[in-house]
Chain A
Amino acid sequence: MDEWFTTDELPNGIDLHVMQTSKFKSNAITAVFYSDLTEDTVTPNAILPEVLTRGTRRWPRTAELMQNLDSLYGTGLSAVVGKMGEKHLLIFSVDVANDAYLSANEDLLSEGFAILRDVVFDPVLEGGAFRQDYVEQEKTNLRRRIESIIDNKLAYAFRRCNEEMFRGEPYAMHRLGRVEDIDGIGPESLRLWHRQAVTQLPLDIFVVGDVAREHVLELVGEVFDMKRDPMPFEVPAGAQHRVPAQPRSVVETMDVNQGNLVMGYSTGINIADLDYPALLMANGIYGAYTHSKLFQNVREGESLAYSVYSGIDQNKGVMHVWAGIAPDAMDRAVEIIEAQLDDVRSGRISDDEVEKTRRAIARDIRMMGDSPVAQIDYAIVSRINGVQETPDELLRRIESVSLDDVVRAANRIQLDTIYFLRDEEDNVGA
């Protein structure tokens, strides 16, 4: 992976990051606003992308806005809210076909930027506020989306584990916000927050495609010439999380066939920590892959689970282990899962495990170069955590992680919360 982003700052404080590559048949554009994860803004943030993609001043009806995307050769448009550590992100993306492949008369790249600008900055308004019908419909839909997390039992178990583990901290909030705040949102208040957000929140624009940096700089300068008064970008300090002396254990029942076990661990290591490459290795040896200890022992050794993995949040010092198991197998599963981690902590790791993991992580990092979205995500995470390291540089650090480094990182991992969702048998707790 040789290419990486080149950054320019526009007069109105927008940071433009461009990567030129001829690999793809389209140009990917992403605009990201960085908001803090707070009780006041989490729910308005969650609803904002939904309302903004309903209509713009130029294309007031949703069907018209979408038909315009059709005319521009199926230009992709997505607007989502993302949670990364204690940051809450508004992410707007457009993917336009490269005209070189089409007999298009339009300049698709310019049109792509224009759509992005319209959606973000120039919504359809009624008397200075958002359209009431759009806001009401999206409030209903947001409520339904939050309530439907329960329909995916694993996602629900994750959410519940997180709520228990981070009770009282901002990180306990779900990226989609809080049901109890939805009623209080109206067309005027949301529009006020929108104006404040798009003029004051730090904004990055990422572009990946067969485009020259100078050309993009000129285009973006023309299209995104609005006045802005952005706050400086601040890397969040990260709330201090206190691990309980005894791990919390929460068991809930529902009418399900399979038990979903999610265990939350505190690592205290995010991407900005010197031990991050060592933690990536520790997590790989422990549970990220099919060659990892968890898969080998919980699934292959004991046939306890179809899926069992561990994963780390690179923005927040957290690791999760999740397993789909028989409802009566919780104690046995927790015991084996913990035993595997103890093996990593005490260095009971073969050279084979270390090298397999190192190769797998190197592969995953190098594969990012094949996906514009993966590269933009990596750049956003780096940005949030104040890290300036290209994937190639991270790769070199992975190459030099030693067994001692792995053991040191693994010893920073502490079990915090065990959450188990199981069936409604009579013997619960027995």
Chain B
Amino acid sequence: MPRMEIARSELLKEEVATTRLDCGLEVCVQRKKGYAKKYGVFATRYGSLDTRFRRADTGEVLDVPDGLAHFLEHKLFEEESGSIDDVFAELGAYSNAFTDYTMTGYLFSCVDNFGPCLDTLLDFVMRPHFTEASVEKEKGIIEQEIKRNEDSPGWQAAYRMLKAMYKRFPVRVEVAGTVDSIRSIDPEILYTCYNTFYHPSNMTLFVVGDTAPDEVAERAAVALGARDYGPAPEVERLYPQEPREVGERRVEIRMPVSEPFVCFGFKDNDVGHEGARLLRKTVCMEMLLYTLIGRSSELYNELYEEGLLDHTFDWNFDCDKDYSFVVFEGKSNSPDALVDRVCQGIDDSLAAGIDRELFERARRSFTGSALRAFNSLEFIAYNFLDYHFRKMRLLDRVGVAESISLDEATDLGKRLFDPEMLVVSAVNPLQ
């Protein structure tokens, strides 16, 4: 096996060892000395966005139903003998899976039996078993999952904002699909997608915990070695061309809630980046947002004192290679006033120039918070691959923050907070 490459952060005193196995699978291990828990995450670069693609071997373009990647995730958990949860439970481990726009991940956490758990994880994900009966049965379960989401005001507001913001790009479609879209899913289409996207060369195994990286890599090589995965399928993901402008400026629904919930965001058309450049942009944006409207900002506290927002207020910068947007959300008794004041406050700060001292304070806050986050194996387990698949290094978050200048942050803000790109989505109480 090739030597493992080491990426190290002197600041965090953490390192990640990486190698690629003969079958094409990439293995990354972050050792955490002294921790009892170990996580294994096995993920593929395949998510809810990938509903239209062309395979080079057949040349055929395939359109698959919305929600397919998520459905596939549910079904991989099932074995001929029952659910894979059972095998993990037998080993004293916890197991779960998740699907988002660009990836599907399967994970376990355990204290004992790490080796057998790792074997089980690699084995079941690489061995699909879909039948008519089990696919039909799953529709009932996923239908309840979709309905649970539909009753959540936060989910409704966010989902409707994206639907309004994007005219064509599939980030506007819910990850689980709809009750209608999943109806036509059958074993055949599941196998087609599986064979297209679950080749080891399209996947990464990440382990975090007190375990030796080379032993993990060797064990994974043995677990996967005996099978022939064939050549990696060449696949072209066909995303629709998204126009620059937003679809709708404002959307609204009514639900049985105590007060309005609002989600508003700015579409960012500066896409196509990944790696160090995208990491820099992400950290820059997080620091800027914290300076402008974090808990310690004058703007946040002003709006809090006026009762326009409360501690449910939050923001997020969600950026991938093919889409990017900033979103703010929270409860407010007056959503439109909140949106106006936040936008006005941000514009005023950027125009007048941000106080250097405030920015330095935000940098310190970011550094300490990013450091503290590495106490948590959950944080590392759930975020490492999310970064890695965008060719970004989670370990570098703290280091990058040290080199970002106020001018750089201000320029990014001026470009991104474009009033033309603003979309507001409100959930209002029933009349």
Q: Which residues of A come within 8 Å of B, CB atoms?
A: 1, 21-26, 61-63, 66-67, 69-76, 95, 97, 101-102, 133, 137, 140-141, 144-145, 147-148, 150-153, 254-258, 289-291, 299-300, 303-307, 324-326, 352, 355-356, 359-360, 362-363, 366-367, 369-372
Q: Are A370 and B368 in contact (CB under 8 A)?
A: no
Q: What are 20 A-B pairs with beta-carbon distances under 8 A?
A: A23-B33, A23-B375, A25-B371, A63-B298, A66-B296, A71-B364, A73-B369, A74-B367, A74-B372, A76-B369, A101-B12, A101-B371, A150-B256, A255-B256, A290-B89, A291-B86, A303-B141, A362-B92, A366-B37, A369-B36
Surface stretch bound by A, among B148-156, B403-411, B415-423 = B148-156
Q: Is the CB of A70 within 8 A of B296?
A: yes
Number of residues on chain B facing chain A (CB within 8 A): 71
Q: Which chain A residue shows the least CB distance to B78?
A: A300
A23 touches B331 (CB 8 A): no
Which residue on chain B has the smallest CB distance to residue A299?
B141
With A and B bound together, what is the CA distance between A300 and B12 in angstroms?
43
Closest Cβ of chain B to A398, distance in Å, is 12
The residue in chain B whose Cβ has the minimal distance to the Cβ of A152 is: B152
Known: A70-B364, A256-B256. A101 touches B13 (CB 8 A): yes
Q: A101-B11, A101-B371, A303-B140 are in contact. Are A148 and B89 (CB under 8 A)?
A: no
With a cutoff of 8 Å between Cβ atoms, the chain B residues found around residue A150 in the complex are 256-258
What's the least CB distance linking B357 to chain A, in Å? 9
Residue on A nearest B367 in the bound complex, by CB: A73
Contact B365 A289 (CB under 8 A): no
B126 at interface by CB-CB < 8 Å: no
Partner of A291, one of B35, B85, B145: B85
Q: Which residues of B contact A369 (CB under 8 A)?
A: 36
Contacts of B331 in A (CB 8 A): 144, 148
A residues less than 8 Å from B259 (CB atoms): 144, 147-148
**B144: contacting residue among A255, A324, A366, CB under 8 A:** A324
CA distance A140 to B332 in the complex (A): 12
Q: Which residue from chain A places its CB closest to the CB of B33 in the assembled complex?
A: A23
A291: chain B residues at CB < 8 Å are 85-86, 89
**Given A101-B371, A363-B94, do A23 and B35 touch, yes or no (CB 8 Å)?**
yes
Q: What 9 pairs across the A-B complex have the smallest Cβ distances?
A: A73-B368, A359-B92, A66-B296, A74-B368, A303-B140, A74-B365, A291-B89, A74-B369, A306-B144
A69 touching B375 in the complex, CB below 8 Å, given contacts A257-B150, A290-B89, A363-B111: no
Known contacts A24-B375, A75-B368, A153-B151; A370 and B92 CB within 8 A of each other: no
| Any A CB within 8 A of the CB of B58 | no
CB < 8 Å neighbour of A325 from B144, B256, B376? B144
- Interface readout for B219-230 with A: 1 if CB under 8 Å, 0 if not? 000000000000
Q: Is the CB of A257 within 8 A of B147?
A: yes
Residues of B in contact with A (beta carbons under 8 Å apart): 11-13, 33-37, 82-83, 85-86, 89-95, 109-112, 137-138, 140-142, 144-145, 147-148, 150-153, 255-259, 261, 294-298, 300-301, 304-305, 307, 310-311, 331, 333, 361-362, 364-369, 371-372, 374-377, 430
* Docked pose: A74 CA to B373 CA in angstroms: 11
Take A140-B307, A150-B257 as given contacts and tell me if A356 and B137 are in contact as well, using a CB distance cutoff of 8 Å: no
- Distance in angstroms between the alpha carbons of A62 and B377 in the assembled complex: 32
**Are B12 and A25 within 8 A (Cβ)?**
yes
A371 closest partner in B (C-beta): B376
Residues of B within 8 A of A325 (CB): 144
Establish whether residues B144 and A23, one from each chain, have CB atoms under 8 Å apart when the complex forms: no
Contact present for A102 and B368 (CB under 8 Å) = yes
A299 to B255, CA, bound (A): 28
Partner of B148, one of A147, A324, A370: A324
Question: Would you call B377 and A370 a contact (CB within 8 A)?
Answer: yes
> Chain A's nearest CB lies how many Å from the CB of B23?
30
What residues of B have a CB within 8 angstroms of the CB of A360 in the complex? Answer: 89, 92, 94
Q: Are A62 and B256 in touch, CB under 8 angstroms?
A: no
Chain B residues, CB < 8 A from A69: 296, 365
Q: Which residues of chain A are within 8 angstroms of B430 by Cβ–Cβ distance?
A: 255
- The smallest beta-carbon distance between B98 and chain A, in angstroms, is 14
A66 to B301, CA, bound (A): 10
**How far is B259's CA from A254's CA once the two chains are assembled, in angstroms?**
16
Known: A67-B296, A72-B368, A102-B367. A367 touches B111 (CB 8 A): yes
Cβ B372 vs Cβ A97 within 8 A: yes
Give bound CA distance, A25 to B111, whole Å: 21
The chain A residue with its CB closest to the CB of B299 is A63
Contact A97 B85 (CB under 8 A): no
Q: What's the least CB distance linking A416 to chain B, in Å?
A: 26
The minimal Cβ–Cβ distance linking B62 to chain A, given in whole angstroms, is 28
Instruction: Please determine whether B365 and A70 come into contact, CB atoms closer than 8 angstroms.
Output: yes
CB-based contact B153/A151 at 8 Å? yes
| Complex CA distance for A73 and B152, rounded to whole angstroms | 35
Q: How far is the CA of A356 from the CA of B110 in the complex (A)?
A: 13
Are the C-beta atoms of B89 and A151 separated by less than 8 Å? no
Residues in B with CB closer than 8 Å to A257 are 147, 150-151
Q: A61-B301, A367-B37 are in contact. Are A25 and B374 (CB under 8 A)?
A: yes
Task: From A147, A254, A324, give the contact of B256 (CB < 8 A).
Answer: A254
Task: Report Cα–Cα, A23/B374, bound state, in Å.
Answer: 11
CA distance A61 to B305 in the complex (A): 11
Known pairs A153-B151, A366-B37; list 11 more (Cβ under 8 Å): A25-B12, A74-B369, A147-B259, A152-B152, A255-B256, A258-B151, A299-B141, A300-B82, A304-B140, A306-B144, A363-B112
A223 to chain B, nearest CB (A): 21
A300 to chain B minimum Cβ distance, whole angstroms, is: 6
**Distance between Cα atoms of A289 and B375 in the complex (Å):** 26
Residues of B within 8 A of A141 (CB): 307, 310-311
Instruction: Using A102-B367, A150-B258 as known contacts, say yes or no to A305 and B144 having CB atoms under 8 A apart.
Output: yes
| B34–A22 touching, CB < 8 Å | yes
- Smallest beta-carbon distance B233→chain A, Å: 32
* A290 to B77 Cα, complex, angstroms: 12
Nearest residue (CB) in A for B301 is A63
Q: In this complex, what residue of B is CB-closest to A372?
A: B375
The reply to whether B83 and A300 form a contact with Cβ atoms under 8 Å apart is yes
CA distance A151 to B13 in the complex (A): 43
CA distance A71 to B368 in the complex (A): 10
* Docked pose: A195 CA to B374 CA in angstroms: 38
In the complex, what distance in Å separates the CA atom of A139 from the CA atom of B389? 46
Residues of B within 8 A of A140 (CB): 307
What separation, in Å, do the CA atoms of A133 and B72 have in the docked complex? 54
Q: Which of A356, A359, A370 contacts B37 (CB 8 A)?
A: A370
- Is B110 touching A363 in the complex (CB atoms < 8 A)? yes
Q: Which of the residues B37, B257, B296 comes within 8 Å of A148, measured between beta carbons?
A: B257
Q: Are A137 and B307 in contact (CB under 8 A)?
A: yes
A67 engages B361 (CB within 8 Å): yes
On whether the beta carbons of B92 and A258 are closer than 8 Å, the reply is: no
A254 to B300, CA, bound (A): 34
Which listed residue, B90, B255, B297, touches A255 by the CB 8 Å rule?
B255
Let me know if A290 and B365 touch, CB within 8 A: no
Q: How far is the CA of A250 from the CA of B294 in the complex (A)?
A: 43
B157 CB to nearest chain A CB (Å): 11
Q: A289 touching B89 by the CB < 8 A rule?
A: yes
- In the complex, which residues of chain A have a beta carbon less than 8 angstroms from the beta carbon of B369? 73-74, 76
Partner of A23, one of B34, B109, B110, B152: B34
Q: How far is the CB of A108 from chain B (nearest CB, A)?
A: 9
